[in-house]
Amino acid sequence: MHSFEKKTRKKLNSSDVQSLSSKDLTLFYIMGCKVWERRNCIRVGDIVQDMTRLWEETKWVYDEMNDSKMTVNREDEAQGSNATSVVWKPPHWSILKINVDASFNGQGSGGVGCIVRNHRGRCLAALAKRVPYVSDAETLEVHAFLMGLELASDLRATKIVVEGDARRVVDLVKSNMDNLSILGMLATEIKAKMTKFRECYTEWVPRDANKIADRLAHYACNVALRFG
C-alpha cells in the first residue's frame, strides 16, 4: 500500500498536508478533484462510479501526467542514439501542444481524449469525454479536434499546435478545396475555430506519438453517459 494511501485512511489536518512530499501532495489534489467531481454528479443526479475505484483513478491520472514528462526525456535519449521508435515531441517553448484522439465503439457512441502540454511535457489540462450519437470513427475524430481547440481556448492559449493520428481529418483541415460532405463541413468548423488563435496549425502524427490521448479516449468509452 502506498504511504499516501495509508495517510488518507485517517483524517488529515493542516500539518499533515504540509508534511506531504511533492508526489503525495499531487496525489492529494488529484483525489480532492475526483471527490469534488463525484459530489457535483450526485448533486445533479448523474451516474457516478463506485468510490472504491477512487484510489485507482487517482493513481492512473498521476501516472499519465508523469508519463508525459518522461516522454520528453525519452525523446532526448532518442536524439542521442540511432533509435527509430516514434515518440511525442515537445513543441517550441512559446507554443502549447494539444494531442487529440477518438475511440469509436461501433455502436453509435465513443470517447474523445485530449491533453494539453507545454515544451517541458508538463500536462496543463486533459479531457476524457463520452460522445453519444455518432455514426462513424472519422466523425468522432473531428469532434476530438473541436474539443481540443475548445480546451485550448479555455486555457486562453494564443499559440497552439493540434496533433492527431486521423490522417484524413488533418488532410481535410489543411486542404483549401471545398468539401460539401458532412466530414468536410465539420472540418470547416475546425478551420473557423483555428482563426480565433494568434497562431494555430494541425499536424498528423503516428499513433505511437499520440498514446496518452489514445488512452484517454479509450477511458472515456467506459465512462457512463450522464443524464441530467
The number of helices, as runs of H, and strands, as runs of E, in the chain is 8, 5
pLDDT of residue 228: 37
3-state helix, strand, coil in the chain (%, to 5): 50, 20, 30
Q: Are 183 and 138 in contact (CB under 8 A)?
A: yes
How many Å apart are CA 110 and CA 223, to the nearest integer? 10
Q: From 3.40.50.620, 3.40.190.10, 2.60.120.200, 3.30.420.10, which CATH number describes the 96-221 domain?
A: 3.30.420.10
Q: Are 111 and 223 in contact (CB under 8 A)?
A: yes
Cell of residue 186, nine digits: 465539420
* Burial (CB count within 10 angstroms: exposed 0-12, middle 13-18, buried 19+), residue 183: middle
Prediction pTM value:
0.67
State residue 68's pLDDT score.
52
Return the exposure string of 64-95: e unless at least 16 CB atoms fall within 10 Å of the residue's CB, then b.
Answer: bbebbeebbeebeeeeeeeeeeebbbbbeeeb
| 54's grid cell | 477512487
Cell 460522445, located at residue: 131
What letter represents residue 91's amino acid?
P
* pLDDT tens series, the chain, 228 aa: 555 555 555 555 555 656 667 777 777 777 777 777 777 667 766 666 677 777 777 777 777 666 555 444 444 444 554 445 688 999 999 999 999 999 998 778 899 999 999 999 999 999 999 888 888 899 999 999 999 999 999 999 999 999 999 999 999 999 988 888 888 899 999 999 999 999 999 999 999 999 999 989 988 887 655 433
Q: Establish how many alpha carbons lie within 13 A of residue 21's alpha carbon, considering only the half-sphere containing its beta carbon.
A: 7
Supply the pLDDT for residue 56: 77
Amino acid of residue 215: R
Considering only CA atoms, which of 106, 105, 201 is closest in space to residue 149?
A: 201
Q: Do 101 and 213 contact (CB within 8 A), yes or no?
A: yes
CA 7 to centroid of chain Cα atoms: 29
Which SS3 state, helix, strand or coil, does residue 168 take?
helix
Give residue limits of the domains in the chain: 3-79, 96-221
Residues in contact with 14: Cβ distance below 8 Å, sequence separation at least 6, in sequence order: none
